[in-house]
Amino acid sequence: MESASSARVRAGRALSGLAVLFLTFDAMVKVLKLAPGVKATVELGYPEGTVVPIGLLLLAGVALYVVPGTSVLGVIYLTAYLGGAVASHVRVGNPLLTHTLFPTYVAALLWGGLILRNPRLLGVLLGGH
C-alpha cells in the first residue's frame, strides 16, 4: 500500500509535469517562431520581434522551476510571467474564463504541484517555520 506522503508527492509531480509540459510547448512554439505562436503574440499587441525573447524568458522560468534547488524562485518567476499574460488578455478584451484566467490556472498547477511535493513550503509561505 502506498503511503499518503508518497501519493502526495506523486500527485505533485503530476500537477507540476502538466504545467511544465504546457509551458515548454508554449515556449518552443515562440522560440521556433511557429505561426500559431507568432499570431497569438501579435494579437495580444506585441511586435513580432518580441516572440522569440518572450519564449526564451519562459524557458528560463521553466528551467528554474524544474531544478529542485531553484524551484521556489522558478515558481515566483513564472507567476510573475503568467501575471503579465493575464494583463495582456485583459488589455485586448479576451474572454475571462477561457483566455484571461487561463494563466492563473497554470500558476495554480505550478504552485499546487510544488506544495504537494514540498509541504513545508506552505508553512513557510503562511508565516510558520
Q: Give, for all 129 residues of the chain, the pLDDT tens digit.
A: 678 799 999 999 999 999 999 999 999 999 999 999 999 999 999 999 999 999 999 999 999 999 999 999 999 999 999 999 999 999 999 999 999 999 999 999 999 999 999 989 988 888 876
Does residue 89 lie in a domain region? yes
Does residue 129 lie in a domain region? no
Rounded to an integer, what distance in angstroms lies between the CA atom of residue 120 and that of residue 27?
Answer: 30
Does residue 8 lie in a domain region? yes
Domain count, the chain: 1
Does residue 106 lie in a domain region? yes
Does residue 31 lie in a domain region? yes
Distance of CA 95 to the CA centre of its chain: 20
Closest residue by Cα to residue 29 from 64, 49, 59: 59
Does residue 125 lie in a domain region? no
Does residue 124 lie in a domain region? no
pTM for the whole structure:
0.93
Strand locations in 2-123 (E): none
The DSSP H or E segment spanning 91 is: helix 71-92
Closest residue by Cα to residue 80 from 116, 104, 101: 104
